[in-house]
Structure 1
Amino acid sequence: MIYNKLLNGEAKLAVIGLGYVGLPIALEFAKKIKVIGFDINAKRVEMMRNNIDPSNELEASAFEGADIHFTADLDELREANFFVVAVPTPIDESNLPNLSPLISASTTVGKVLKKGDYVVFESTVYPGCTEEDCIPVLEEVSGLKFESDFKVGYSPERINPGDKVHTLQSVVKVVSGCSQESLEEIAKTYELVVDAGVHRAASIKVAEAAKIIENTQRDVNIALINELSIIFNRLGINTYDVLNAAGTKWNFLKFQPGLVGGHCIGVDPYYLTHKAKQAGYHAKVINSGRYVNDSMGFYIGKQTVKKIIAMGRNIMDARILVMGATFKEDVSDIRNSKVIDVIRELESFSCKVDVVDPHASSEEMLEEYGVSIMKEPGKDYDAVILAVNHKEYQTYTEDDFKALLKEQKGVFVDVKGIYKGKINDLIYWSL
């Protein structure tokens, strides 16, 4: 049994892909069993060998006491018998699933797969992807037969970047396997590191579907609140006043408006709608929610422009400061950040836009979006947009914002409404 071999050191577990999902998993397992951490990026591997998390999520102390070997060498993967695949599953420019990283990882594992090995996928995918897209690659590359020669499972990641409460250990892990025996082996293996326990899903497809609806549900709910904020803005009502009032009812769901980016909520629903379309169904509610949420950056940009024009200032000469560029607060990840939509909309009106962010890499922003991040903000702006609520920005006063604005007057856009009731002299707007 693979579980017993892992426990007594006869077998090793390998994690393929050491990003914000893979690295925490690898390090937790490495405190219990022997682990190989594999990533194709040699520069990242070298950082991890020096106890540095390239994603800036883990402290150096997280590497202590871990029996792990980091490598970018395929040959060293041959020592493993239990493979956990945790690579990204993004979307392309047409919002269609991009399985390239997942297929590439499956090819990598297939090259080193042996009889009796286990492969567990953690990447978020549509129902059926593991069996229809990944397993055929494993079989073709390895020359082995699924089920009789190797076992496969699916256990969706539930890592929340920047969240120090809902961690791998404290959140129930959904697991699945290709048979009852493999399910138990996989479940027992994950129980080594998940204190909250595991949920044994009925099948691999069920586990895949469970993961994808977690984020789809959030996406649709946030889209409703975003649409309501657009309606309330036209009616001259503050959205947060409405939400506070409605929230006094016991069964009201307290979602808030905002920019929905990142590589979970802003991506996963497209995997489900893609699969639904293949099955002959057009997902109306999910697609409508995606449309609303994908439009919010442009909406915020337009509202900012309207406020500047209403002040009597020439929009083509306007200077605007955007505070925050990452996809959420207190993280360094800029992937699929919707702040860029705000910036693009402002630039389409010929506004001069400066961007600051204490967490994001200017080099990465420039490479990904062609936008530089300033070390320090300038002065004499016509508007300041607080786009991401980093902790560094939550201690600002109105005077701090006034000091950034021309003649200490101008527009203050507070996307998430954290300064509601605290701004008196500036033109204030929030979702």
Structure 2
Amino acid sequence: MLQALLAKETKLSVIGLGYVGLPIALEFARKMKVVGFDIKPERVELMKKSIDPSNELESKDFEGCDIEFTYNIDDLKDATFHVVAVPTPINEHNLPDLKPLLGATQTVGKVLKKGDVVVFESTVYPGCTEDDCVPILEKESGLKFGEDFKVGYSPERINPGDKEHTLTKILKIVSGNDQEALDLVANVYESIIKAGIHKASSIKVAEAAKIIENTQRDVNIALMNELSLIFDRLDINTFEVLEAAGTKWNFLKFFPGLVGGHCIGVDPYYLTYKANALGYHTKIIDGGRVINDSMGAYVAQTTIKKLIKAGYKVNGAKILIMGTTFKENVSDIRNSKVADVYNELVSFSADVDVMDPYASSEELKEEYGYGLITEITKQYEAVILAVNHKEYLSLDESYFKSITNGNAIFIDIKGIFRGKIKDLNYWSL
């Protein structure tokens, strides 16, 4: 199959062209014919103009790519190797929302032919590919799994905003439903991945490997957040403690902060869901999730307490939040815990403004109910530096003093201005 793809005798399809799918589609399209499929026509039209709707790629990244962008399912019929890279979010009850994944699986099933291969990249709980997706492929296609078509799983490892660890430079885990499928999937991905391939022994192992990558980070960050709750009561700066402890050669360097986004703040819930279904109730993972999900409210409540201590009225207090995306230097607002900070402050009747050089005001209004200010027109009693966008790193205390009143509160969530703020009332996690 690889030779047919490289000779452009057949096509490879990528279903879902978000921050994961689009880079994969473009990289394959440098070597073979690719059909990039997305259900949103407005996104497809942007990509046809070499515009990445996720704002991760530049127009030059589309150059030299043999790719057809479409939202028409019929355009997928000529493809023989299908990559599914759609989001796997959680719902309002923190349970897996598989609708995008199962919908994409139905789409592939409708065009699946004998001899085709389907590879899933979406993050799922162990067993999801074979237990939930394969039956849909069989039902929609009328084909028999293992005999008529093969399935693989290769978890995505793309880190939004990271220009160093890009797709081809990250070791790729691959798996297949049998040895033939494993070798085939490995060969296809080896054609674009420079960092190398790791062959997992089964699809379930590959699924589990992905889910624990982010669960491990979540638990460790939760420990740092819990330590920050303790150290704050001891009037110790957490980042100074970590700096000192980090001088030991085997100390693991994690830091406190707001844990949002579509990976670390979401993936552990897929694992706890599967564990609960098996009759095991997770303890450490659940505990970490409770701590991390509470940090936005904690930051807001600390801000309110410091305002009161400084003699300001909470009702109508002017507060500026700088940054509202889920992480620095990206436009993605999905599962941003800055929204928790905002909502908690508003519940105290504070007058809160939000600014961000990357986020879309319209998307924020639709998702969280608040928009962005375009310019600073107030003198604030408190400033919360919530996201460390590069545009904020060059600012200094004189700037923050120029937009604040008197003995203002400066909340530096990740501690990047530690030791640089002398006159304002400084606090960090």
Number of residues of Structure 1 aligned to a counterpart in Structure 2: 429
Contact 1:379 1:403 in 2 (8 A): no
Aligned-partner Cα distance in 2 for 1:31–1:295: 44
Q: Map 1:74-85 to 2 at 5 A.
A: 74-85=73-84
Q: What SS is found at the alignment partner of 2:380?
A: coil
Q: What SS is found at the alignment partner of 2:46?
A: helix
- Give deviations 1:72-122, integer Å, cap 9, x for gaps: 111111111110000000000000000000000000001100000000000
Which runs of 5 or more structure 1 residues have no equivalent in the other structure? none
Aligned partner of 1:147 in structure 2 is 146
Aligned partner of 1:172 in structure 2 is 171
For structure 1, which segment, 3-12 or 113-122, has the greater mean C-alpha deviation from structure 2 after superposition? Answer: 3-12
- Give deviations 1:344-394, integer Å, cap 9, x for gaps: 110110101000000000010001111111111232111000000000001
Answering whether residue 222 of structure 2 is matched by residue 223 of structure 1, we say yes
Aligned-partner Cα distance in 2 for 1:94–1:213: 21
Q: What SS is found at the alignment partner of 2:324?
A: coil
Dislocated runs of 4+, deviation >2 Å: none
Counterpart residue identity of residue 427, structure 1: N
- Give deviations 1:254-298, integer Å, cap 9, x for gaps: 101000000000000000000000111011000000000000000
Aligned partner of 1:423 in structure 2 is 421
Answering whether residue 105 of structure 2 is matched by residue 99 of structure 1, we say no
- Give deviations 1:144-191, integer Å, cap 9, x for gaps: 110111100000000000000111110100000011011001001001
Aligned partner of 1:14 in structure 2 is 13
Counterpart residue identity of residue 427, structure 2: W
Aligned-partner Cα distance in 1 for 2:374–2:118: 44
Q: What SS is found at the alignment partner of 1:382?
A: strand
Aligned partner of 2:326 in structure 1 is 327
Contact 1:379 1:406 in 2 (8 A): no
Contact 1:16 1:22 in 2 (8 A): yes
Aligned partner of 1:213 in structure 2 is 212
Aligned-partner Cα distance in 2 for 1:110–1:278: 27
Q: Map 1:163-312 to 2 at 5 A.
A: 163-312=162-311
Q: What SS is found at the alignment partner of 2:175?
A: strand
Counterpart residue identity of residue 302, structure 2: Q
Counterpart residue identity of residue 240, structure 1: F
Aligned-partner Cα distance in 1 for 2:73–2:9: 20
Which runs of 5 or more structure 2 residues have no equivalent in the other structure? none
RMSD (CA atoms): 0.6
In the TM superposition, residue 321 of structure 1 has moved relative to its aligned partner by 0.3
Aligned partner of 1:37 in structure 2 is 36
Counterpart residue identity of residue 232, structure 1: F
TM-score, scaled to structure 2: 0.99
Aligned partner of 2:119 in structure 1 is 120
In the TM superposition, residue 32 of structure 1 has moved relative to its aligned partner by 0.8
Contact 1:37 1:69 in 2 (8 A): yes
In the TM superposition, residue 403 of structure 1 has moved relative to its aligned partner by 1.1
Q: Map 1:54-73 to 2 at 5 A.
A: 54-73=53-72
Aligned-partner Cα distance in 1 for 2:23–2:14: 10
Q: What SS is found at the alignment partner of 1:141?
A: helix
Q: What SS is found at the alignment partner of 2:96?
A: coil
Aligned-partner Cα distance in 2 for 1:18–1:135: 22
Counterpart residue identity of residue 416, structure 1: K
Q: What SS is found at the alignment partner of 1:169?
A: helix
Answering whether residue 158 of structure 2 is matched by residue 134 of structure 1, we say no
In the TM superposition, residue 313 of structure 1 has moved relative to its aligned partner by 1.0
Counterpart residue identity of residue 344, structure 2: E
Aligned-partner Cα distance in 2 for 1:118–1:7: 16
Q: What SS is found at the alignment partner of 2:167?
A: coil
In the TM superposition, residue 5 of structure 1 has moved relative to its aligned partner by 1.5
Aligned-partner Cα distance in 2 for 1:378–1:239: 33
In the TM superposition, residue 9 of structure 1 has moved relative to its aligned partner by 1.5
Counterpart residue identity of residue 47, structure 1: L
Contact 1:44 1:54 in 2 (8 A): yes
In the TM superposition, residue 404 of structure 1 has moved relative to its aligned partner by 1.1
Aligned-partner Cα distance in 2 for 1:260–1:117: 39
Aligned-partner Cα distance in 2 for 1:298–1:349: 11
Aligned partner of 1:111 in structure 2 is 110
Counterpart residue identity of residue 418, structure 2: K
Aligned-partner Cα distance in 1 for 2:347–2:316: 13
Q: What SS is found at the alignment partner of 2:174?
A: strand
Identical columns (%)? 67
Counterpart residue identity of residue 410, structure 1: A
In the TM superposition, residue 317 of structure 1 has moved relative to its aligned partner by 2.2
Counterpart residue identity of residue 404, structure 2: L
Counterpart residue identity of residue 129, structure 1: C
Counterpart residue identity of residue 95, structure 1: N
Answering whether residue 314 of structure 2 is matched by residue 315 of structure 1, we say yes
Q: What SS is found at the alignment partner of 1:251?
A: coil
Contact 1:15 1:38 in 2 (8 A): yes
- Give deviations 1:17-67, integer Å, cap 9, x for gaps: 000000000000000111000000111001001000000000101000000
Contact 1:16 1:83 in 2 (8 A): yes
